[in-house]
Every structure is written in C-alpha cells, then in structure tokens.
C-alpha cells in the first residue's frame, strides 16, 4: 500500500485524560511524520471535535495516539468501530484489558506468565497495612488500576507509608494494585505487528521510573541494545510477544518488564497506545531495528484494523 492509498487520515490526539499533554506531543510528531511520508494526515482532537465529524470531514481511517482513559481503554476503539472508521492498534477488548492493570495481571497469571506477587485494595476497604506489607516482602509499589505514565504511583516500606500510597492511588481509581518491590533492571519491549523489537533497558536516578523520570528529567538513560546476552534478549522478546498476544494485542504496543532480585523477568504492564514522540521508546527501538520514525508510523498505519 502506497502512502496515497491510505486516504485522508485523522491523527487522534489530545483528548481529556490525565495524559492529554503527552498525547498532544505524540500526535504532533505522528502527524508531521505521516505528512513527510506523503500521507494526507490531519490532527483531530476529540476533546474539541465530536467524533461524528470524522465521517463528515471525509476521513478514511484514524491513527490513534490518545493516551490514557478514553484513548486506550477500548472507549475510542468501540466508537470508531461503530462509525466504521478503521484505526491503528488493538481492538476494544485488548485495550480494555491492558488499561486495567489488575485485569492484565489476571490474564497473564491465567496464561502462566511471570508476574510479581500482588494484592488489590478497593476504595473504602479497612486493612491492616502492616500485615499487608509483610505479606508482600516489606516494600511495595502502589499503582492506580487504570492510569498510565506512572500517574498516581508511589512506593512504600512502612505501614504509614503504605496507607498514604494507597490513598494517593485511590484519588485516581477505585482499585489500587500493590506489587512486591522488584529491585532488578527494568526493560521495555515494543511490539510491531506480532514481532518484538529490540529491548530497551531503562536507567534512572529516581527510586523508580516515575512521571518526572519519563518526561522531565535529563539524566534518565535508555540503553538499546539493552546489554543482554543473545539468549536473554531472545527470552525477553518472546515473553513480551506472549504477553501481548495473551491480551489479544494487534498492530503495535509495548510491554514493560522488570527483574526480581534473582534476575527473573516479571511482567509489569501493557501499553496499547505508547508514547510516540520522536524521542519515545517505541521509535527508539524501531531505529535500532532499522526503521526511521516515518517508516515506523507508516508501518503502524498499515496494520490499522476495521
């Protein structure tokens, strides 16, 4: 398929989630790259324009870079399917599952894939935080069930700290996911089509890879190649592919993985609409695999589903 064959493409960006600013940056970069590749691409912000205007304005398909709620939780995917507009990335069910960290872990556990020990705490539950902390090894990571970009995440190694961390997570979601602390290296693996791209090892001076480390810090380092042996790299890529496939992922996405203190891989979460600025992780891995940013966005567009 040539660039002109895609027709008029809407780049869905912005939206009204907590990740709006990140999505705007992704959308601007994708729009520019598609245009440079000869695609008739135009930015479209659902926060300002009703989705029905996609058909009215003659758009043939959509490149979705709406991050967070409404954009990668199955909502926009269902609306586009109803409108009959083909779109990039995974379908309704896969996006809904991946957006919910609790449901994602349940699917992975059922598939026999490795994850960290965890507990789900619902808003309003009365708990013995000291006992809960001990059960999970003395230190935990606390996450809202349905937020991205590390929003609402924090660590805890005391009962008082855990109570505070859970309260923070509950500001963003009715469920908080508590996971045993993982002290090994952190990796992310991009998926294009059904194939994993080279793994990236993340290195931050922060306690963990938080929002500031992702988007604001100047000292966060990304290593690609990740410095793994050929056997370790192959195992990590195969794990990411299996994790993506088990959720029903299509087209493209990203799987985040971390090692425990014994060096065993543990799946963290799935991202069905990852960041897509030219400095984001998926483009970084694609570049090592021999794909320019323009080639990457066109290839993602080729995988658009109806």
The structural domains of the chain, with segments of one domain joined by +, span 3-89, 97-114+183-302, 118-180
Which helix (H) or strand (E) segment is 26 a member of?
helix 20-36
- Residue 205's alpha-carbon distances to 138, 199, 210, 245, 278, in angstroms, are 22, 20, 10, 32, 23
Adjacent-strand bridge partners of 142:
154, 178
Q: Mark whether 280 is an active-site residue.
A: yes
Question: Annotation-wise, does 256 bind a ligand?
Answer: yes
Contact 88, 303 (CB under 8 A): yes
Contact 240, 196 (CB under 8 A): yes
Question: Annotation-wise, does 241 bind a ligand?
Answer: no
Give dist(CA 281, CA 237) in Å, integer: 15
pLDDT in single tens digits along all 306 residues of the chain: 777 789 999 999 999 988 899 899 999 999 999 999 999 999 999 999 999 999 999 999 999 999 988 999 999 999 999 999 999 999 999 999 999 999 999 999 999 999 999 999 999 888 888 999 999 999 999 999 886 556 788 989 999 999 999 999 999 889 999 999 998 899 999 999 989 999 999 987 655 555 555 555 567 889 999 999 999 999 999 999 999 999 999 999 999 999 998 999 999 999 999 999 878 999 999 999 999 999 999 999 998 854
CATH number of this structure's domain 97-114+183-302, picked from the four choices 3.40.190.10, 3.30.470.20, 3.40.50.1980, 3.30.300.130: 3.30.470.20
- At the topology level, CATH places domain 3-89 in Rossmann fold (3.40.50)
pLDDT at site 279: 80
Q: Single out the catalytic residue among 154, 246, 280, 304.
A: 280
Q: Mark whether 149 is an active-site residue.
A: yes
Looking at residue 79, what DSSP letter applies? H
Residue given tokens 């965890």 in the structure block: 118
Give dist(CA 142, CA 189) in Å, integer: 22
Q: Single out the catalytic residue among 17, 23, 26, 149.
A: 149
CA–chain centroid gap for 192, Å, is: 13
| Number of neighbours of residue 250 by Cβ within 10 angstroms | 21
Of 98, 142, 135, 137, the closest CA to residue 120 belongs to: 142
Question: Annotation-wise, does 36 bind a ligand?
Answer: no
Model confidence, pTM: 0.89
Give dist(CA 146, CA 100) in Å, integer: 5
Contact 259, 265 (CB under 8 A): yes
Contact 294, 37 (CB under 8 A): yes
Give dist(CA 158, CA 143) in Å, integer: 16
Architecture in CATH for domain 118-180: 2-Layer Sandwich (3.30)
């Amino acid at each position: 398929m040539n660039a002109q064959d895609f027709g008029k493409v809407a780049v869905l960006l912005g939206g009204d989630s907590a990740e709006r600013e990140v999505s705007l940056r992704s959308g601007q970069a994708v729009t520019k790259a598609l245009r440079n590749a000869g695609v008739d691409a135009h930015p479209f912000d659902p926060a300002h324009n009703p989705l029905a205007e996609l058909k009215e304005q003659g758009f043939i398909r959509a490149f979705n870079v709406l991050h967070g709620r409404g954009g990668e939780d199955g909502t926009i995917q269902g609306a586009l399917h109803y409108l009959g507009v083909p779109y990039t990335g995974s379908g309704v069910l896969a996006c809904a599952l991946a957006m919910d960290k609790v449901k994602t872990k349940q699917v992975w556990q059922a598939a026999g894939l490795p994850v960290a020990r965890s507990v789900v705490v619902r808003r309003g539950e009365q708990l013995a935080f000291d006992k809960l902390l001990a059960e999970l090894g003395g230190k935990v990571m606390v996450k809202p069930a349905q937020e991205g970009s590390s929003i609402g995440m924090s660590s805890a190694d005391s009962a008082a700290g855990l109570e505070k961390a859970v309260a923070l997570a509950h500001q963003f979601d009715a469920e908080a996911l508590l996971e045993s602390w993982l002290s090994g290296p952190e990796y992310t693996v991009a998926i294009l089509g059904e194939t994993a791209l080279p793994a990236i090892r993340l290195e931050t001076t922060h306690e963990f890879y938080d929002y500031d480390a992702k988007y604001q810090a100047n000292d966060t380092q990304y290593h690609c190649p990740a410095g793994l042996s050929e056997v370790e790299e192959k195992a990590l890529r195969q794990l990411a592919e299996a994790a993506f496939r088990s959720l029903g992922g299509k087209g493209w996405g990203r799987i985040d993985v971390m090692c425990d203190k014994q060096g065993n891989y543990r799946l963290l979460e799935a991202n069905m609409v990852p960041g897509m600025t030219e400095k984001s992780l998926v483009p970084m891995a694609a570049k090592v695999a021999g794909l320019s940013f323009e080639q990457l966005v066109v290839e993602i567009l080729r995988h658009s589903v109806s």
